[in-house]
Amino acid sequence: MTRSARPSQADRVYSELRAKLLRGDLPIGQRLIEQQLAADFATSRTPVREALRRLEGDGHVVRDPAGGLCPAVPSVRSMRELYDVRLALEELMVRRASVSGDRGELEAILQDWRALEAERSGGRSHHGPEFVHQDESFHERIARAAGNDVAVRMLRDLNDRIRILRVHDFTSDDRVGATIADHLEIVRTVLEGDADAAAAFMRAHVQRSALVVRERVGEALARMFEVSES
């Protein structure tokens, strides 16, 4: 996906536009005009078109009936679906990691999260957006240690789409602490090779997170989503 040597204009437009879309920076009803985007990114329509095609393939933009492209609107329903699929995949990953995971990587993960725990009890606390990245990184590393690149890629895609919600999980210091504890417990269990227990911990962890998000985001976001649902 990343061009090997020199990132092209199309790549640049793709990632910047994608970032905007995933942050929800673009007005939802508004059509994305190729020429206008080309002007914004100081380039021509060709790279913009290529970026849009990729974003369309990713499902981050959708076609309106007239053939124009608009930002895809997340719905409550799709969020639930995404969490559902994510849960199944994460469970699979810890099972695989438990049975035949890369021990070196798993132990590195354990070390890193012990360090985070120490930092935290040492008074240095992590705030939302930064911790979201840590959290995503944990789950991706587990998948990578499990040795399933197909799943890694799928999880990354899922994470892109729920990131906008995930930040709501880490607005309280309690949740950050609980997450660190969960992660340590999971990776320890994986290293013990207990697939069933690890899967159960992961399931509980993700479900807890989903519950908190659901609660925090609450009715406000739900209503926002509802109205913008197509």
Partner DNA sequence: CGACGGTTGGTTGTATGCAATGCGGTGCAC
Partner DNA sequence: GTGCACCGCATTGCATACAACCAACCGTCG
Report the interface residues with a second copy, using CB under 8 A.
1, 3-5, 10, 46, 49-50, 53-54, 56-59, 63, 65, 67, 78, 81-82, 84-85, 88-89, 91-92, 96, 148-151, 153-154
Task: List the single partner that 228 binds among a second copy, DNA, none, CB under 5 to 8 Å by kind.
Answer: none
Q: How far is the CB of 143 from a second copy (least distance, A)?
A: 11
Task: List the single partner that 145 binds among a second copy, DNA, none, CB under 5 to 8 Å by kind.
Answer: none
- Cβ-contact 198, 109 below 8 angstroms: no
Q: Based on CB atoms, which residue is closest to a second copy, 155 or 176?
A: 155
- Cβ-contact 45, 65 below 8 angstroms: no
Task: List the single partner that 35 binds among a second copy, DNA, none, CB under 5 to 8 Å by kind.
Answer: DNA
For residue 224 the two structure tokens come to 């926002």
Site for DNA in 149-208 (CB under 7 A): none
Tell me how far apart the alpha carbons of residues 215 and 230 are, in angstroms, rounded to a whole number. 24
Contact between 33 and DNA by CB under 7 A: the answer reads yes
- Cβ-contact 141, 109 below 8 angstroms: yes
β-strand partners of 62: 70
Q: Based on CB atoms, which residue is closest to DNA, 68 or 177?
A: 68
In this chain, which stretch among 15-23, 46-54, 84-92, 110-118 interacts with DNA, using CB under 7 A?
46-54
For residue 35 the two structure tokens come to 């020429």
In this chain, which stretch among 3-11, 15-23, 91-99, 209-217 interacts with DNA, using CB under 7 A?
3-11
Element (H, E) at 117: helix 103-121
Contact between 6 and DNA by CB under 7 A: the answer reads yes
Residue 129: burial class (beta carbons within 10 Å; 0-12, 13-18, 19+): exposed
- Cβ-contact 151, 93 below 8 angstroms: yes
Of 209, 125, 201, whose CA–CA distance to 165 is shortest?
Answer: 209
Contact residues for DNA, defined by CB under 7 A: 3, 5-6, 8-10, 31-36, 43-47, 49-50, 65-69
